[in-house]
Amino acid sequence: MSKSLSGTLDTFALADLLQWIEINRLSGRLTVSRGEDRRMIDVKNGAIVFVSSVRPEERLGTFLVARGILPEPVVYELLADSFLTGRSLTRLVFETGLLSRDALAGAVEELALKVLFDLFHWQGARFVYDPTVLTEDLLRIQLSLRGQLLALEGARAVDDTARRRTAESVEAEEPASNAEELSPRNVARSFFAVVEGLDMESPPPSVWQERFELFGRFSEKVAASLRSPFRPFPLFEDTAERCRAALESGAETEETFRLAATDPFLTVDLLFLGNALRTPATGLLSTVDGALAAIGTGALRRFLELLVSPGAPVVSGRDRLERALRSAAVSTAVAASHVAPSLGEDPGRAWVLALLEPVGGYELLKLLLTEDFDPGPFRAATLGWYRAASGRALARKLNLPDAFADVLGSDGQVSSRSSVAEQLVFFAKQMVAGEQVGREWTSDDPELADRYAALAVDDALADRIGRDASALRELLGL
């Protein structure tokens, strides 16, 4: 029988944990989490064969470019393939022969050692060993973090941490991750917090039990979704058709820029690829033109070829949810681009911020529809409870700038103390209120109300927004 294990590194030291895996010749994945940071250690027959991280600066692609091992355009093209085929970057580099086995193994091992040694300093981290994850020793690295080296590094890390705590007194606790917040105990607390906030009748116990089980099943799906990596969205049918035509004519870069303006899914996909090799230190991308410039023509062409290949999924313009999402996204983007100058924001960046806002709750809403929630306040409150966490998780997976995390992860209650990005989207949504879908953005702040009133009485501004939004919706058949 496969052995599974979970706990914290405060009670089971990392060195002991890895030695336990080695002695028992286990295979699978050890995931170590602290707040939103997460590292994955793949083992095969007790040996460490690969180490990965959710931190952008600790990903293999970023490492290969930063070390000058492979050119950035080449890595972008490999990532375009990896994101849409599911093949690992390591395998793609190896199979294309861009690096010898020894050169690739050396780079992977150097990164793995860096990430592993840093793990010894993690206090309060949680770990889960999952023997069901299939792992492979593609490079036959057999990382040798064993015996005396492992013990010495662990002891040194503990000593360093103890000295640091003595010098700094009590250090702040790491914030809990979304996955930790969805523990069974916290799910139960969340359920009662949701129902206590509703003015509902007092149903019989059987109804409460049914609702609690329903909320629990949905919460499990939310937790799995938050942990899962992002996969590029399918494009709308009309976008896919025009992308195919652009590829045939060789005008994919110019046409992609235009198409992304009205397809939030294409915009998300491009920003995901564009930011795959970016870090906060190098500057995260927030516009489509910036993403296209970073990706380059070769990677863009490969990405589009896979996105619109025969048999690739597409989003039908007849699907009610996606149709409503697109209409709201486009209308809000138009309004945001017109409102942006009054807040000192770039209109192009404002367009993208507003275009992506409805996408923050898209996957959450799809999960909700897989359960038998009756329409009503309980369903709406359940969706609202997880909406901010889901949006922030998406922004993190896409490696987007903080402004996008503020918008995608907003709770919809905006004030003059909220970020400029949230205020911008709030004003834009009010200007096209009739086109909104999903949660309502509101404010009780008199200062914000006065600022919106000044925008709303500008008839010329309202006319431009209404005319441009209407023209785009008509063009898209919305």
Rounded CA gap, 284 and 271, in Å?
9
Q: Are 268 and 353 in contact (CB under 8 A)?
A: no
User: Taking a C-beta distance cutoff of 8 angstroms, is the pair 358, 437 a contact?
Assistant: yes
Stretches in the chain below the pLDDT threshold 70: 1-3, 140-181, 200-201, 438
Give the orientation angle of helix 320-339 with respect to helix 264-274, to 10 degrees. 70
* pLDDT (0 to 100) of residue 478: 82
What pLDDT sits at residue 156?
Answer: 62
pTM of the model: 0.90
Residue 90 in any domain: the answer is no
pLDDT of residue 175: 46
Instruction: Specify whether 353 is located in the same domain as 448.
Output: yes
Q: Residue 142 has what pLDDT?
A: 53
What are the beta bridge partners of residue 42? 29, 50
Q: Strands of 126-130's sheet, edge to edge? A: 5-8, 126-130, 28-34, 37-44, 47-53
Q: CB within 8 A of 475, min separation 6: which ones?
A: 262
Say what percent of the chain tops pLDDT 70: 90
List the CATH number of the domain containing 259: 1.10.3210
Domain boundary among 118, 135, 168: 168
Instruction: Using the 3D structure, point to which of 138, 168, 198 is the last residue of a domain.
Output: 168
Give the CA dihedral 165, 166, 168, 173, nearest 10 degrees: 30
Per-residue model confidence (pLDDT) at position 232: 96
Tell me whether residue 218 is in a domain: no
**By the 8 A CB rule, do 209 and 290 touch?**
no
d(CA 370, CA 389): 19
Residue numbers of the domain that contains 116: 5-69+101-168
Which amino acid appears at position 148 of this protein?
Q
Q: Is the same domain home to 159 and 284?
A: no
Please tell me whether residues 39 and 137 are part of one structural domain: yes
Interval 271-322: pLDDT, tens? 999 999 999 999 999 999 999 999 999 999 999 999 999 999 999 988 989 9
- Domain-embedded: residue 192: no
pLDDT at 170: 38
DSSP 375: S
Distance CA 87, CA 93 (A): 10
Residue indicated by tokens 């294309």? 96
Mark whether 248 and 364 lie in a shared domain: yes
* Cα four-point dihedral sign 250, 256, 257, 262: positive
Domain presence at residue 203: no
Tell which of 168, 200, 223 closes a domain: 168
- Claim to verify: residue 146 and residue 258 sit in the same structural domain: no
Q: For residue 327, what are its two tokens?
A: 């209409």
